[in-house]
Amino acid sequence: MSPACTDKPARSEGSMSPVRRVERATNPVEEILALLGDAVLVPNRRLTKKPIVKDWQKLTLESMSRPDHIRSFIGQNIGVLLGRASGGLCTIDIDNDSDVEHFLEDNPSLRDMMRTKRVRGCNIWLRMEGDYPASTSIKIGGKAFGEWRADRNQTIIYGAAIDPRKGETEPTPYRFLNRAQPIRIRFDEIQWPQGCDAPTRTPLLRLHTSFCNTASLHLCITTELRRSLKASPRKVQPKRQSQKNTRNWFGYTGAAAE
């Protein structure tokens, strides 16, 4: 993303005096949205990764149409709210440059993905199809590898930062290593390094308004628990006891549907 303006001295014909060319200012918000499509952006305090908006994890696409929200980006770092809020947009944050190359060797298709960087490693931007895990850190043999960033998390895409804890003395801008629109991919297509505690998908319990009685709710919960815990049918509680526990979990005290 180009700076607001750039002075380029040049000499005009028949004159020794320089001519100043001022490029048209660009809007970073428009540039980001042109690249990402429907995405929720988060204003962060200049040179930091600290959001300046209260309850920023609850921002929605509707927030991006509010003039006051758009004005809040002026002079600040810009992050992207990840996960379902931005249509399944997630990032793989890899800490070290050497790990990036090894990861891309195992995942050659990800070389064409959008990648951003500040000082070390990079963020690989993905548009997820289907289910994917919650945000989590990733380690290999107890050593930090990076982070899987998804729902209720953000990745900075524009601005600069400085981290004195790592010996940095000057701000370093965030930049693109590969400027491309994120490609859709399923989580199980990603190949994780050997020995790494890779993120795993956990079946989510989805409750729908179509449930009209406790027996239906009991069947859904029993099925999801059996799938996630890999329990055998013999270990599932008897029907009456399971229904009683179901009512306790949700504070339901009415009579069970037989």
Please report which confidence band the pLDDT of residue 254 belongs to, taking 50, 70 and 90 as the band edges. very low
Within this chain, do residues 185 and 218 fall inside the same structural domain, yes or no? no
- Residue 179 CB neighbours (<10 A): 12
Same domain assignment for residues 95 and 173 = yes
Final residue of a domain: which of 140, 157, 189? 189
Looking up tokens 């900075």 gives 156
What's the mean pLDDT when you consider all of the chain? 80
pLDDT exceeds cutoff 90 at 255? no
One domain, residues 42 and 65: yes
Q: Which of 157, 189, 221 is the last residue of a domain?
A: 189
User: How open is the CA angle 145-49-2, to the nearest 5 degrees?
Assistant: 100
Q: What's the Cα-to-Cα distance from 142 to each of 79, 120, 146, 251, rounded to whole Å?
A: 29, 20, 12, 41
Provide the number of structural domains found in the chain. Answer: 2
Domain boundary (189, 219, 250) is at 189
Residue 106 token pair:
């195992």
Separation between Cα atoms, residue 100 and residue 127, nearest integer Å: 19
What is this structure's pTM? 0.70
Q: What pLDDT does residue 200 have?
A: 86
What mean pLDDT do residues 7-26 have? 46
Here the CATH number for the domain that contains residue 72 is 3.30.2250
